[in-house]
Structure 1
């Protein structure tokens, strides 16, 4: 896989996959996907920590018991095992998804 992936190239790979997400990069524990849900986000909690970086679109993001608005460029962190989803998003919504670390997530430093 390339070490540099543009939004255009990620979108092309996504469209070719026929899915709402596709992996665009992998290195060690890091897996980067490009995700563009179709009208409804049907995600389930993941077994690893993850980060979203919004590429395009706006909407709201539910993360555990909190909900807030998002826009392009926003960084959203979700600990492993946490219920989360994008809601009320625009048709152009797409996001980078970065999974990393061990199953169960990394422990929070005190």
Structure 2
């Protein structure tokens, strides 16, 4: 039985074979992805606010020039249009990312 508001992790994990950021759930302006960069984090600033929830592994996160070591269970916010990236991430690094709100972010 398919439940329209539920996505099983096994389906998201299988999609990682096709893309490094499969979409898990979408509703209105909210979009949730599992992000698992490979080799290098090449993402660019996004037009909407975002929250990351680290699922597995470790990394260094650089946000607007400020650097922090992050690990599984950590949660952090990035405002719309702010430069950010993951560096020195472990091979098992995966993070949920939730985008929402209007372009330009909430003020």
Write the distance in 1 (CA, Å) between the matches of 2:62 and 2:22.
Answer: 22
Stretches (4+) displaced over 4 A:
none
TM-score (norm 2): 0.90
TM-score (norm 1): 0.88
Q: For the Cα contact (< 8 Å) 1:7–1:55, is it kept in 2? A: no
Write the distance in 2 (CA, Å) between the matches of 1:6 and 1:88.
Answer: 29
Q: For the Cα contact (< 8 Å) 1:32–1:99, is it kept in 2? A: yes
- What's the Cα RMSD here? 1.4
Look up the SS of the partner of 1:21 in the other structure: coil
Show structure 2 runs of 5+ residues with no match: none
Look up the SS of the partner of 2:11 in the other structure: helix
Look up the SS of the partner of 1:38 in the other structure: coil
Look up the SS of the partner of 2:14 in the other structure: helix
Aligned length: 105
Show structure 1 runs of 5+ residues with no match: none
